Every structure is written in C-alpha cells, then in structure tokens.
Amino acid sequence: MTEKLLEVQNLRTHFFTRTGVVKAVEDVSFYLEEGETLGVVGESGSGKSVTSLSIMRLIDKPGKIVGGKILFKGEDIAEMDEDRLLQIRGGKIAMIFQDPMTSLNPVLTVGFQIAEAVKTHLKLDDKAAMNRAAEMLERVRIPEARRRLNHYPHEFSGGMRQRVMIAIALSCNPQLLIADEPTTALDVTIQAQVLELIKGLSKEFRTATLLITHDLGVVAGTCDRVVVMYAGRVVESAPTHTLFKKPAHPYTQALLQAIPRPDEPPGSRLHAISGQPPSLINLPAGCPFAPRCVKAQARCRQELPPLETKGAGQMAACFYPY
C-alpha cells in the first residue's frame, strides 16, 4: 500500500460553549491521494469547514481537536509543534477561503501579500519574490500582472480577488490545496472561470485538492471522489460517478433529488427533505439522519450505523442502504 498524502483518522473536533459541547466533527475519517481532487459536501453545520480548519490546525478556543489523527505524509498534524506547523501551513498545505474580501489584507498591496508567502516558505529575496508574485498573477490570468502588483484588494472585483487568493495559495508549490467554498460568493459565470482555473492549475502544479462545497453540481464537474457529511459525521464516501449514479445513503439520495436541475422540465415538483438538521449539542441517539429519513426503522433510532464498505470504493453509514 502506498502512503496517502493525507489521511484523517477518527478526527473529533468539539467546541466547548456555555450551552454545552458542540460536537462539530465526530469520528471523521477519509484520505486523499497525491494529485487527487476530493470533494467534501454537506450543508451548513455539517462540520465540513471545521474539518478543513482542523487539518490546518486553525481551530481556536472554545474549539479543540479532542481526538484522532491527521496524517500528512505520515506526520501527525494534530500532534505537531508550532515551528513545524508554520513550515507546513501555507507552504506544503495552502488554503483558499470563501470570502476573498475578508481573507486578503485591505491595507497591503496584493504584490506584497503574495511576496510575503514566497519569502517565508521559499526563502527568496525581495526582488525574486516580487518576480514570483508577478508570475503567479499571470498564471491565474490577471491581465497586466506587473502593474496590478501595486494594487490593493479593493481595486479588484470579487472573481479577481479569488484569483489573487489562488495565486497566494499556489505560490509556494503546495502539495495539498484546501479550498473552502471557493466559489460560493461568486456569480455563476465567474464561478465557472474560477473552477476551471483551480482544476487547470492543480493539474499543472500536481497539487491534490480538498474542495469543500455545499453544491453537488460543483462536485460533479471537478472531483474524483466525494465525501458526504451530515451532522459532524461522514455518511458516505464514493468515487464521483458512483455517488451520483448509485448513492448508498438515504441522505445522499435525498440531497440529489432536492436540487433543481437546469435540464429538467419546468414546474416539476422538488423532492424536499422534511425537517431540519439536528442540533449538534443534543444529537439524537442512533443515526443522526434518522428523524428525517424515509427509510428509518426502529434500529436506526437506537444504534449508530458504522461507516462500512458497500460497493467498489463506496462506503456508507447506513443499515438500509440503496
């Protein structure tokens, strides 16, 4: 067995709030091979963003990683000391966030912000770093890259800012790119541009990508494999084609049916999922999806179904799959 680039094992991240312990991520395991694109899909509160922040060790109080391993090329990030972490974060593992306006520093030029990352991780001098910054802006197809180096984030449009973020993230040749809802704040035509760019560049730089999104449409066009999360847990993981063709978990099935598709006849009725996701403080016993599940039996309300292999490369946490 070859070593995986990233292997998350039984990760548990909890938030200790005044009203109780929020189990944002509970027993999450998945892996990522080199050069692969893995989609993590879920709704708000499913734990997908907390998972990605945990991988970067960016969880702040009252949150804490309380269990599990995050193996990056065999090294456990959860146990790493600050110095080693600083080498990896931004260098070997880079991240793109949802909102490019708040994740860029408004008082520094974009050239400075790209150069800063390059100087830290690639140990380049000022001049070489600026050259690298200009090269990266060109790579993300920002016109007149040289001149744009001296511009501030507010002088760029939303799509352009996200390109700048991508330029910063890829400037140090990371082996893993974590993109947390990178296109959610963008318009559809701009979303298409940015997704193409991420796809193209990650291939070119041979970067593995962890794409976090709520949009199954985005996953269909970009990912090799998908992990579906619900209420802090992984409920299904499968190759993209299998997941869309033969979803095993009733939640995945329901999610796929609930999306309006542009290629469906107008006026047709959507299959809504009744109810809402449970509170993460007071999770029901048994399967967290049971209260909303059409297939739920008595057993589902008492016992937690384990994540088991159901087909080729496909795993699901359900007693009554398909």
Partner 1 sequence: MAAEIAQPYPSAEVASDTLVDVRNLKVHFPIRGGLLGRTVASVKAVDGVDLTIKRGETLGLVGESGCGKSTLGRAVLQLVKPTDGSVIFEGTDLTRTSYGTLRRMRADMQMIFQDPFSSLDPRFTVGRIISEPMVNFGRGTSQEREARVKELLQVVGLNPAWVHRYPHEFSGGQRQRIGIARALALNPKFIVADEPISALDVSIQAQVLNLLADLRDQFNLTYLFIAHNLSAVKHVSKRVAVMYLGHIVELGSGDDVYANPQHPYTIALLSASPIPDPELELTRKRIILTGDVPSPVNPPSGCPFHPRCWKAQAICREVAPPLEEKRPNQIAACHFPGA
List residues near partner 1 by CB under 8 A: 43-44, 157, 159-160, 187-193, 196, 214-221, 240-241, 244, 254-256, 258-274, 276-277
Q: How large is the C-alpha radius of gyration of the chain?
A: 20
Cβ atoms within 10 Å of 244's Cβ, excluding its own:
15
154/59 Cα distance (integer angstroms): 28
CB of 28 to partner 1, least distance (A): 20
Between 56 and 96, CB nearer to partner 1: 96
CB of 135 to partner 1, least distance (A): 20
Q: Residue 43, SS3?
A: coil
Q: Residue 157, SS3?
A: coil
Between 45 and 174, CB nearer to partner 1: 45
69/79 Cα distance (integer angstroms): 8
Q: Where are the beta strands (DSSP E) in 52-163?
A: 63-72, 75-76, 93-96
CB of 54 to partner 1, least distance (A): 22
Place of tokens 């501030």: 152
Q: Is 122:172 a contact under the CB 8 Å cutoff?
A: yes
Q: Which residues of 82-103 are buried (b: 16+ CB within 10 A; e: fewer)?
A: eeeeeebbbbbbbbbbbebeeb
Look at strands 225-230 and 208-213 and give their pairing.
unpaired
- The residue among 298, 250, 297 whose CA lies nearest residue 274 is 250
Between 106 and 265, CB nearer to partner 1: 265
Between 55 and 160, CB nearer to partner 1: 160
Between 124 and 256, CB nearer to partner 1: 256
Between 130 and 198, CB nearer to partner 1: 198
Collect all residues with Cβ–Cβ distance below 8 Å to 233 and sequence separation of at least 6: 26, 27, 28, 47, 288, 317
Between 238 and 316, CB nearer to partner 1: 238
CB of 158 to partner 1, least distance (A): 8
Between 89 and 161, CB nearer to partner 1: 161
CB of 63 to partner 1, least distance (A): 22
120/303 Cα distance (integer angstroms): 49
CB of 60 to partner 1, least distance (A): 24
